[in-house]
């Protein structure tokens, strides 16, 4: 059976992807859906020959110009080879216990973030970029430096497929440690709920910028963490301390929403001031939003 463009686009929806068990299949289908959408969107210019070409840069060998592409687009593109690497990308995933949260049968934040990581890694390797993966909670749980081979991509996807939520959050401390490990500058993409002290997290993010890395932070929340629309009576359990609290959420919903807005606005403002790309996602957001943010950044860097 031949899949249509609409078939592929459905894999950008978290509720569809949640029914798939294989991380490699998820990564491929999400990227296929994303690229299909680019071809049919105002962002068509982003989709030019992902895997085989890149724009001409001064100093490139003119023998490798693709004149067919020039004839179609009036732009110069260079043919690339499998071993070429344009970019080193470092994907950093928060796997602390708070990332295990989900509401109303939705996908947990960690699972949602893992699928974004898998799709980003797939897309990067298709573009001949080197990609690595770091997973942390209180400490660094896994560190895979960037490589650009398909066999290495399989190792990254395997790591993501078996991932479970871990210990308490220590985002700021872990990010400082990771920044010190990165020896060659590149693009750093961090996926986290950022449930840590914003001033400490921002100091850690500036550490990456100080080392000349480009940074995208993707803050991932559950929809109810943003709205606090839990109804009249609820028992809240802290995933990291296991403490429980019986309350009536509607009494404090407005105050909670104000505090959450202040919390998010702090990150938005601080990131903007330090030239860090900030993306707010929740687990109902289609995956192409995250992929487009990466691609937009990738184009600006290229």
Q: What CATH number should be reported for the domain holding residue 118?
A: 3.40.50.410
Residues 58 and 206 reside in one and the same domain: no
Could you give the angle at the alpha carbon of 125 between the alpha carbons of 202 and 118, nearest 5°?
A: 60
Q: Summarize pLDDT for 103-117 with one digit per residue, the tens.
A: 888 899 999 999 999
Residue with tokens 């104000």: 258
The C-alpha atoms of residue 89 and residue 189 are separated, in whole angstroms, by 7
Contact 96, 110 (CB under 8 A): no
Instruction: Tell me the C-alpha to C-alpha distance, in Å, between residue 214 and each of 34, 96, 132, 208.
Output: 23, 24, 15, 8
The three-state DSSP-derived secondary structure of 101-153 is: CCCCCCCCHHHHHHHHHHHHHHHHHHCCCEEEEEEECCCEEEEEEEECCHHHH
The C-alpha atoms of residue 290 and residue 285 are separated, in whole angstroms, by 9
Q: Which residue has the higher pLDDT, 227 or 291?
A: 291
How many structural domains compose the chain?
2
Q: Which helix (H) or strand (E) holds 292?
A: helix 288-301
Give the CA dihedral 23, 29, 35, 40, nearest 10 degrees: -150
Q: How many residues does the chain have?
A: 302
Pairing of strands 88-94, 187-192: parallel
Residues 70 and 176 reside in one and the same domain: no
Q: What mean pLDDT is predicted for residues 6-21?
A: 87
Give the pair of three-digit tokens for residue 281: 């996602």
Residue 85 CB coordination number (10 Å): 17
Partnered with residue 244 across adjacent β-strands are 237
| Domain with 167 in it | 88-301
Could you give the angle at the alpha carbon of 282 between the alpha carbons of 115 and 130, nearest 5°?
A: 35
The C-alpha atoms of residue 181 and residue 190 are separated, in whole angstroms, by 15
Examine the pLDDT at 50 and tell me if it is beyond 60: no
Q: Summarize pLDDT for 261-277 with one digit per residue, the tens.
A: 999 999 999 999 999 99
Number of alpha carbons in the 13 Å side-chain half-sphere of residue 188: 29
Residues 118 and 99 reside in one and the same domain: yes
Domain contains 33: no
For position 9, what pLDDT does the model report? 84
Report pTM.
0.80
Last residue of a domain, one of 80, 104, 121: 80
- 10 Å CB burial of residue 157 (0-12, 13-18, 19+) is buried
Nearest alpha carbon to residue 193 among 93, 67, 286, 272: 93
Residues 271 and 141 reside in one and the same domain: yes
Residues 67 and 149 reside in one and the same domain: no
Domain contains 30: no
Q: What share of the chain is helix, strand, coil (3-state, %, to 5)?
A: 50, 20, 35
Q: Summarize pLDDT for 139-177 with one digit per residue, the tens.
A: 999 999 999 999 999 999 999 999 988 778 889 999 999
Residues 97 and 191 reside in one and the same domain: yes
Q: Summarize pLDDT for 206-249 with one digit per residue, the tens.
A: 999 999 999 999 999 999 888 765 555 555 556 566 676 556 55
Residues 175 and 250 reside in one and the same domain: yes
Examine the pLDDT at 49 and tell me if it is beyond 50: no
Last residue of a domain, one of 38, 56, 80: 80
Give the pair of three-digit tokens for residue 34: 């994303």
Domain contains 277: yes
Residues 53 and 184 reside in one and the same domain: no
Give the pair of three-digit tokens for residue 296: 């937009």
Domain contains 38: no
Last residue of a domain, one of 30, 57, 80: 80
Give the pair of three-digit tokens for residue 119: 């799709």
Q: What mean pLDDT is predicted for residues 32-58?
A: 61
The C-alpha atoms of residue 239 and residue 137 are separated, in whole angstroms, by 13
Residues 104 and 248 reside in one and the same domain: yes
């Amino acid at each position: 059976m031949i899949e249509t463009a609409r078939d592929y686009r459905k894999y950008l929806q978290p509720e569809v992807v949640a029914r798939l068990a294989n991380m490699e299949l998820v990564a491929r289908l999400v990227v296929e859906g994303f690229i299909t959408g680019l071809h049919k969107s105002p962002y068509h210019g982003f989709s030019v020959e992902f895997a085989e070409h890149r724009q001409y840069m001064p100093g490139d060998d003119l023998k490798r110009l693709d004149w067919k592409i020039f004839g179609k687009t009036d732009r110069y593109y260079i043919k690339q080879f499998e071993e070429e690497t344009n970019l080193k990308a470092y994907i950093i995933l928060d796997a602390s216990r708070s990332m295990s949260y989900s509401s109303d049968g939705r996908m947990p934040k960690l699972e949602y973030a893992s699928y974004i990581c898998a799709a980003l890694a797939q897309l990067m390797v298709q573009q001949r970029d080197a990609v690595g993966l770091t997973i942390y909670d209180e400490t660094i749980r896994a560190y895979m430096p960037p490589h650009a081979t398909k066999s290495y991509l399989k190792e990254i996807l395997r790591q993501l497929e078996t991932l479970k939520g871990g210990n308490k959050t220590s985002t700021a401390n872990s990010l400082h440690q990771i920044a010190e490990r990165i020896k060659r500058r590149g693009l750093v993409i961090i996926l986290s709920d950022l449930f840590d002290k914003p001033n400490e997290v921002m100091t850690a993010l500036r550490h990456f910028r100080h080392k000349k890395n480009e940074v995208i932070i993707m803050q991932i929340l559950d929809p109810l963490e943003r709205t606090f629309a839990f109804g009249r009576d609820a028992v809240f359990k802290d995933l990291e301390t296991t403490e429980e609290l019986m309350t009536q959420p509607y009494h404090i919903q407005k105050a909670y929403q104000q505090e959450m807005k202040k919390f998010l606005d702090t990150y938005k403002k601080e990131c903007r001031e330090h030239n860090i790309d900030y993306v707010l996602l929740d687990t109902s957001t289609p995956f192409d939003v995250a992929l487009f943010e990466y691609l937009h950044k990738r184009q600006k860097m290229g």
